[in-house]
Amino acid sequence: MNKKELVKATAKKLELSVVETERILNTFIDTAIEGLKEEKTLSMRGLFSMTVKEKSERKGINPHTLEPIVIPAHSSIKFKAGRLLRERVLEPVKVKSAKKKAKAKTAKKK
């Protein structure tokens, strides 16, 4: 699903115009980006969390020339899917096995 399809589907569910819905979605995206820039983290409990990670400078090798290079320090964004997202998107079998593993882990601790 791309942004245009998301806007149309949301507009239909909310009984709003496509223009209004696109404005709401764009505002949400802009606000989320601003929050991620300022706070270095964005979390929607159960759905996802994103954090800005600072990567330090490191040595590497150019795969074409095999010469050593320095990879400069930079930032990256780490995305982690929340439980609700995983449960609704992934196959139920995978989620059940994850729940069983979690229960087994807590049983071992006791």
The rounded distance, in Å, linking the Cα atoms of 76 and 58 is 15
Cα distances (angstroms) measured from residue 103 to each of 26, 46, 90, 94, 110:
40, 19, 19, 14, 11
15: left (phi over 0), alpha (psi -120 to 50) or beta: left
pTM exceeds cut of 0.95: no
Q: Which residue do the tokens 């400078």 mark?
A: 57
Q: One digit per residue, pLDDT tens: the chain, 110 residues?
A: 999 999 999 999 999 999 999 999 999 999 999 999 999 999 999 999 999 999 999 999 999 999 999 999 999 999 999 999 999 988 766 555 666 677 777 776 65
CA angle 102, 108, 109 (to 5 degrees): 95
Question: Domain ranges in the chain?
Answer: 1-39
